[in-house]
Copies of this chain bind each other. A is one copy, B any other.
Amino acid sequence: MSRALLVDLYELTMAASYHAEGMNGASTFELFIRELPPVRNYLVACGLEEALDYLVGLRFTKGDLAYLQTLDLFQPSFLDYLGDLRFTGDVWAVPEGEVVFATEPVLRVVGPLIEAQIVETFLLNCINFSTAVASKAARVATVCDGRSFVDFSARRDHGADAALLAARAAYLGGAAATSNVLAGQSFGIPLSGTMGHSYVLAFPDEAAAFRAFARRFPAGAVLLIDTFDTVRGARTAAAVAGELAAEGVVVRGVRIDSGDLAALAVAVRAILDEAGLPGLEIFASGDLDEYRIAALLDSGAPIDGFGVGTQLGTSGDAPALGGVYKLVEDLSGPKSKTSTGKATLPAVKQVYRLDEGGPGARDLIAPATAPAPPGGRPLLAPVMERGRRLGPPPALADGRARCRAALSALPSRVRSLEPARPGYEVEVAAELKVRRPDPPV
């Protein structure tokens, strides 16, 4: 797949016009999320590594150019220019795992106008999606409160690539593991999995299925007990676990995937305990999200871990973020649009986090050229200079740790699942709010 062609046509037609007009001066674009979805109090920045990987590798192949030629839109000189194009700009970014809010730039691209323009589509695509999933995962992590949850989303994600990226973003946001083997291979994320209903059905009876699986994976199988009747399945699992213990086979736990999970977990716990198996864990899955997990745990359901699929990998209640990428400054000065409801803030900006973890925690968006406010921690840092990364990609675990720290520093009303009233405070420096007249007609 040519990532260079993963671009909206208008990026290329605009670029062709800039090229013809000789307009290619240094320009600064900022990427930010216009508004938080109503069901999000914060976002977790994610997708930067893929974005930088794209920028480093950006090039139009001969095949790409041949296709573009067939469109009868572009001059040969422009296509020649595209063939030589590499990304040579500078990038500042909020690191992955950091918590961010609406209107705060998470990425700043400074470079020749054409380069900085045509990367818009891909940058938005990868930041929007990974940030959405990492944010969802963080919400799940906060309610799990120490219990683990695993990404089970691959089958419901938006394509294979989405499944891979979702597993990564979910891990960064706090998932303990993923069922997605490719994500394990690609990112070193721990893998986890149990068995499916078809496995149980493929055997003459449940006990035969449990026995075969536990013996094959003697270090800690998890048995799926709801194919027919969950309570009966729990008794069978307990019997098999007891029977195989003598062989040195350890059954780690059972999974419940349907029915009234809270009531079943209580019943299953009692069966396992009565069978002298208090160490066997209970995992729950089946259309779970942070709200259902919170309700289960609030009810005291004895569940030790969760499989979370669809709602996590698609960020089901907020499946898209309104990320945008805007020209904020060029050689002629600061730029902004004044469209109704979609006006933008001009000038190159920095975001400062103030009084973290304290009662006055808030952010300030200020001109990048202004002095930093006392005690303010700048969120945007340089990550790429003249098209080259300033360092090796950080370990995914670092982003995951950053996320955990950022979440724990949030005011509790903001970390909560419920809409924060008031929301986290983001102040915009007065210099950025001066309304400049529209350009003349």
A165 interface contact, C-beta 8 A = yes
B159 touches A125 (CB 8 A): yes
Inter-chain contacts of A27 with B (CB < 8 A): 202
Inter-chain contacts of A2 with B (CB < 8 A): 182, 185
Inter-chain contacts of A226 with B (CB < 8 A): 339-340
A164 interface contact, C-beta 8 A = yes
CA distance A229 to B439 in the complex (A): 11
A212-B316 CB under 8 A given contacts A155-B120, A439-B228: no
Q: Which of B17, B184, B194, B205 contacts A212 (CB 8 A)?
A: B17
Binds B, one of A6-14, A38-46, A293-301: A6-14
A197 touches B314 (CB 8 A): no
A113 interface contact, C-beta 8 A = yes
In the complex, which residue of chain B has the Cβ closest to the Cβ of A67? B185
Given contacts A13-B195, A17-B217, A126-B159, 18 further A-B contacts (CB under 8 A): A5-B185, A8-B181, A9-B179, A9-B193, A10-B193, A13-B217, A29-B198, A113-B202, A117-B196, A129-B159, A158-B314, A159-B165, A206-B441, A227-B337, A228-B338, A230-B340, A260-B340, A286-B342
B129 touches A157 (CB 8 A): yes
Binds B, one of A90-98, A267-275, A322-330, A422-430: A322-330
B164 touches A162 (CB 8 A): no
A339-B257 CB under 8 A given contacts A8-B179, A207-B441: yes
Query: Looking at chain A, what size class is its interface with the partner chain?
Result: 35 or more
Q: Which of B205, B286, B341 contacts A441 (CB 8 A)?
A: B205
Name A residues whose Cβ lies closer than 8 Å to a Cβ of B: 1-3, 5-14, 16-18, 20-21, 23, 27, 29, 64, 67-68, 71, 73, 113, 117, 120-122, 124-126, 128-129, 152, 154-166, 179-182, 184-185, 191-207, 212-213, 216-217, 226-230, 232, 235-236, 257-260, 286, 310-311, 314-316, 319-323, 325-327, 330, 332, 335-342, 438-441
CA distance A6 to B322 in the complex (A): 29
Inter-chain contacts of A7 with B (CB < 8 A): 154, 180-182
CA distance A151 to B197 in the complex (A): 38
Number of copies: 2
CA distance A226 to B129 in the complex (A): 27
Q: Which of B3, B10, B204, B311 contacts A196 (CB 8 A)?
A: B10
A181 touches B17 (CB 8 A): no
A154-B191 CB under 8 A given contacts A3-B160, A161-B162, A198-B29: no
B13 touches A181 (CB 8 A): no
Inter-chain contacts of A207 with B (CB < 8 A): 441
CA distance A319 to B309 in the complex (A): 13
Inter-chain contacts of A204 with B (CB < 8 A): 332, 439
B14 touches A196 (CB 8 A): yes
Inter-chain contacts of A205 with B (CB < 8 A): 439-441
Q: Which of B125, B152, B196, B229 contacts A154 (CB 8 A)?
A: B125
Inter-chain contacts of A20 with B (CB < 8 A): 212, 216
A21-B129 CB under 8 A given contacts A159-B162, A165-B158, A259-B340: no
Distance to closest chain B CB from A83 (angstroms): 15
CA distance A229 to B200 in the complex (A): 64
Distance to closest chain B CB from A129 (angstroms): 5
In the complex, which residue of chain B has the Cβ closest to the Cβ of A155? B124
A9 touches B438 (CB 8 A): no
Inter-chain contacts of A314 with B (CB < 8 A): 158, 314, 319-320
Distance to closest chain B CB from A275 (angstroms): 15
Inter-chain contacts of A340 with B (CB < 8 A): 226, 230, 258-260
A202-B327 CB under 8 A given contacts A3-B160, A182-B1: yes
What are 16 A-B interface contacts by the 8 Å CB criterion?
Answer: A6-B163, A6-B181, A9-B184, A10-B179, A10-B194, A11-B196, A14-B195, A14-B199, A67-B185, A125-B157, A159-B165, A161-B162, A201-B335, A204-B332, A229-B338, A259-B341
